[in-house]
Structure 1
Amino acid sequence: MTVPIAYDVTRLFYGPLSRTPRGIDRVDFALAARLFRHTAQPCVGVMPTAWGMRVFSPHLVRRGLVRLQRLWAERRSIEDDALWHGLVEELKGGNALDTDMVLPPRFSNWQRVKRMGSMLGATGFTLGGSTATHVPDRAVYVNVGHISLAMPFFLRWLDKRPDVTPVFMLHDVIPLDTPHYVSRSSARHHATMVASTARHAAGLLVTTESAQRTVTDALARFGRTDIMTLAQPLPVPRVFHTPCDPDPELAGTKYFVICGAIEPRKNHALLLDVWRGLTADMGEDAPHLVIIGSPAWRSGEILGQLHDSPSLRRRVHVVSGLSSPSLKRLLAGALGLLMPSHAEGFGLPLIEAARLGVPVMASDIPAHREVVDNQALLLPAQDARAWDAAIRHWTNGERPRAQPRPMQDAMDEREAYFTAIERFLSECSAKRQAELAASNIKARPRRPMADTQDDAGIPAVARAGNSSADPV
């Protein structure tokens, strides 16, 4: 069954304000790229704004995705990644740089305006024009980016369009279940997202069965137990489909990697305690720890520990803004990926490392148990002694041998993921339309999608085929 898709592009539209994408940005981008490259899947991009609904043709959405990919520099070669070269020099020298982090320069106001102007030029955004009535009849509204979920005003149009089937993605409800790991504003925003989902959603996408249990429990508190839900593990990004050789400049340099936003939930504090012991006992023979991630809530307290310990700073390095190819190269040469998180909804870095054949050491929590195989070492998140002992063993060469997984497996898993999503969207639509029919609620007379036009006035359906500029 082929159903029209109205894909919320709000997060993607504001993507140029970030130098590199976060995990949720990559998920949003990947699903949008898939849907808008399908000739059999009629799609439009939608973005609720203070000036009303904006509706974008498939052609304009694809142009926006291609432009965003360039602005994020996701295909930037390692040779052109200045952050990578700075990190390599720091690891080779064993001395911390003058700055606390290897950071890209911040965007100036002019740079922000220029980057957003580039996106505006690609997508043809205007203040006037389309409204919610331009959303195709009986469409499935897909919201992966969350932004509109935290702003109920932008979802009011759904009340006037009962023929539209809203399907949202919620990765977890960690801010509600463990509020001490997030800021108060984050907890409030997440509560609003759950309330918005409970009010509007006909379908729900989650990443693991453990996340599904916690999310559905939260929705049940709002009286919603009837939402169709699909728990589907996220696919590995394409860049990790192929093997990668370690950087020869780092040959002989022993290091571990932790990847994720720098915040209390990720449990960087445990690793810093372990590295104090390692540097005290092993001196210059201690392995390095590379912390990859953007500073988040209370990151100052976490990273502030490096100020008080020169020996720790010589072995702990923090970098934000690496391109995906550079991250892949860094992981390829690591002794292991460490992920001692207190709570996770999924844990994509674990899958990325395993795909490259890099050993994984992670906290023993439900999400990790679900997504990693039996080669991963799972340890209690609070047991610093166990982590210390395991890291010492791996540093001395007593670590599991992992093999990179075949590229075809990754491609098959990716295809299976998107196929399951598309099937689920159709099932949600069929259920919604059956409910409408049973309640005698009539949809508006069907209007062909050609009513939505691109900047050249060409009907959307006529431009729905693959383009040579399609993102990958």
Structure 2
Amino acid sequence: MAAPAWLLDLTRLVSRQGKGVPTGIDRVERAYLERLMQVPEPLFGLVQTSVGFLLLDRAGCAAVANLARGRIAPPPATLFSRMVRRRDDGRARAEALLRRKAVARTIAAGLGRTLLRHLPEGARYLNVGHSNLSPSVMKALRRVPGLRIAVLVHDVIPLVHPEFCRPGTVEPFRRRMATVAAHADLVIHSAEATRAVTEAEFARLGRVPPGVTAPLGVDPPVPGRLPPDAVPRRPYFVTLGTIEPRKNHDLLLDLWARAAPAADLMVIGARGWADRATLARLDAGIPGVREIRGADDAEVAAWLGGARALLFPSRAEGFGLPAIEAAMLGCPVICSDLPVFREILGDKAVYVDPGDLYSWSEAVNRHILAANKNEDGDRVEGDRTCWPSWDGHFNKVLTVF
């Protein structure tokens, strides 16, 4: 049975305006928005702003989709937006645009009344960006009779591996997950391995909501063209992801500093909250290591298309999108031996202990040797048909919900 209406939380997409290349979670929220734009039922979007909430109709949601794809540029922020945001940044400009398009605006205390006034009984609320997971928002949503709540939980790494998280973020995350455990009618999981860990944490929080496992869809990468002088003359490897402790960049920096492989390493990704020592090593430079920041999807795909392998030594992951994108391009994957990688990659990767520098060195050198012999090594023709699709994801989620 079709839902009377859909309410998609779009707070994350709006908050990320002007902040560079979209993250994995940004892409998921964008994919949900673009899919729900195609359904016949009424569609609404919820956006928390600096001063309250905006409720958008389908036209307002279309504006968010256009902003997320860069198809439109928001106008200059209004004086009000600049006052509450204290600067004229991308988010302030996006909020200014959406205030003009909103069907309703409210302070936090009036959210329940606003939703009750505009949403039909039995509406479905989807939250895939981990925004607004608070008891007060859940209480406001429940003002709508028959409304059901679904949350996509990408992972619970802050609860399982707090040592890999930015100081001060673990307890707020725990409160958000406690809210999900208490209020969600459905939790969406991207992998069975991730689901097992997440539901174990929910059990500790007092309730395990009903769940569905639906692997995230992967858009086929479309490589761009790299400038000829950008590509190294030697074979090269790519490591892809935000530079932060759980991504384990230090292992690869140690490998290149100590073993000096006869190949280059492209470190692609934004600088996160990596410790100063890691960033200092990148700033000082290690022979054969090049840091690339701000690469768009086409540039990343081009780098992967020519790489000997993707090196993915993460110590914890919820899904592992870069590994799938690399495999789709025919780029070999050398990754940590994590249950979630075994589940999603199967026999299409080489698995190595994320703490075993020697084994990583052996795997890298084997691929270099194949390149020196003009062999393909483990490189295979990319197969774009055997990986999770967004159609499969949404068919499962929207049918269950």
What TM bracket, shorter-length normalisation? Answer: 0.7 to 0.9
Q: Could you say which structure has the greater relative contact order, defined with CA pairs below 8 angstroms and 6 or more residues apart?
A: 1
Alpha-carbon separation, structure 1, partners of 2:50 and 2:141: 15
1:69–1:400 Cα change, 3 Å: same
- Deviation of the 1:156 alpha carbon: 2.9
Tell me the equivalent position of 1:432: none
1:302–1:136 Cα change, 3 Å: farther
Tell me the equivalent position of 2:333: 360
The answer to whether residue 321 in structure 2 is matched with residue 348 in structure 1 is yes
- Deviation of the 1:169 alpha carbon: 0.9
1:329-383 deviation per Cα after TM superposition (whole angstroms, max 9, x unaligned) = 1111111101101111110000000000000000001111111131310001110
Q: Is the 8 A contact 2:55 2:104 kept in 1?
A: no
1:194-232 deviation per Cα after TM superposition (whole angstroms, max 9, x unaligned) = 11101210000111101101111111112213x221111
Q: Is the 8 A contact 2:282 2:291 kept in 1?
A: no
- Deviation of the 1:126 alpha carbon: 6.6
Tell me the equivalent position of 1:259: 240
The answer to whether residue 27 in structure 2 is matched with residue 23 in structure 1 is no
Which blocks of at least 5 consecutive residues in structure 1 are unaligned?
A: 74-107, 426-472
Tell me the equivalent position of 1:175: 158
1:50–1:70 Cα change, 3 Å: closer
- Deviation of the 1:186 alpha carbon: 2.0
Which blocks of at least 5 consecutive residues in structure 2 are unaligned?
A: 74-85, 108-112, 372-376
Q: Is the 8 A contact 1:245 1:333 kept in 2?
A: no
- 1:376-455 to structure 2, matched below 5 A, reads 376-397=349-370, 399-406=377-384, 413-425=389-401
- Deviation of the 1:247 alpha carbon: 6.5
Pick from 198, 203, 215: which aligns with 1:215? 198
Q: Is the 8 A contact 1:208 1:231 kept in 2?
A: yes
- Deviation of the 1:8 alpha carbon: 0.8
1:176–1:117 Cα change, 3 Å: closer
Tell me the equivalent position of 1:58: 58
3-state SS of paired residue (1:161): coil
3-state SS of paired residue (1:204): strand
Aligned residue identity for 2:204: R
Tell me the equivalent position of 2:216: 234
1:307–1:11 Cα change, 3 Å: closer
Q: Is the 8 A contact 1:64 1:123 kept in 2?
A: no
Q: Is the 8 A contact 2:66 2:72 kept in 1?
A: no
- 1:88-237 to structure 2, matched below 5 A, reads 109-112=87-90, 115-116=93-94, 119-120=97-98, 123-124=101-102, 127=105, 131-133=114-116, 134-149=118-133, 151-161=134-144, 163-225=146-208, 227-237=209-219
Q: Is the 8 A contact 2:57 2:102 kept in 1?
A: no
Structure number with larger C-alpha Rg: 1
The answer to whether residue 296 in structure 2 is matched with residue 323 in structure 1 is yes
Q: Is the 8 A contact 1:204 1:230 kept in 2?
A: yes
1:56-115 deviation per Cα after TM superposition (whole angstroms, max 9, x unaligned) = 111220122112211799xxxxxxxxxxxxxxxxxxxxxxxxxxxxxxxxxx94453774
3-state SS of paired residue (1:374): coil
1:418-445 deviation per Cα after TM superposition (whole angstroms, max 9, x unaligned) = 21121121xxxxxxxxxxxxxxxxxxxx
Tell me the equivalent position of 2:82: none
- Deviation of the 1:43 alpha carbon: 1.8
Q: Is the 8 A contact 1:10 1:147 kept in 2?
A: yes
Tell me the equivalent position of 1:296: 272
Alpha-carbon separation, structure 2, partners of 1:303 and 1:46: 37
Q: Is the 8 A contact 1:68 1:119 kept in 2?
A: no
1:258–1:119 Cα change, 3 Å: farther
Alpha-carbon separation, structure 1, partners of 2:248 and 2:57: 43
Tell me the equivalent position of 1:456: none
The aligned length equals 376
Return the TM-score normalized by structure 1.
Answer: 0.73
Alpha-carbon separation, structure 1, partners of 2:395 and 2:289: 42
Alpha-carbon separation, structure 1, partners of 2:90 and 2:226: 35
- Deviation of the 1:415 alpha carbon: 1.5
Alpha-carbon separation, structure 2, partners of 1:362 and 1:243: 22
Q: Is the 8 A contact 2:14 2:95 kept in 1?
A: no
- Deviation of the 1:327 alpha carbon: 0.9
- Deviation of the 1:252 alpha carbon: 3.7
1:240-271 deviation per Cα after TM superposition (whole angstroms, max 9, x unaligned) = 1x577876552744211111111111111111
3-state SS of paired residue (2:382): coil
- 1:262-277 to structure 2, matched below 5 A, reads 262-277=243-258
Alpha-carbon separation, structure 1, partners of 2:233 and 2:283: 27
- Deviation of the 1:193 alpha carbon: 1.5
Q: Once superposed, what is the RMSD of the aligned Cα atoms?
A: 2.7
Alpha-carbon separation, structure 2, partners of 1:318 and 1:136: 51
Q: Is the 8 A contact 2:264 2:289 kept in 1?
A: yes
Alpha-carbon separation, structure 1, partners of 2:213 and 2:11: 24
Tell me the equivalent position of 1:450: none
Alpha-carbon separation, structure 2, partners of 1:113 and 1:163: 33
1:5–1:328 Cα change, 3 Å: same
Tell me the equivalent position of 1:333: 306
- Deviation of the 1:174 alpha carbon: 1.0
Aligned residue identity for 1:193: R
Q: Is the 8 A contact 1:166 1:202 kept in 2?
A: yes
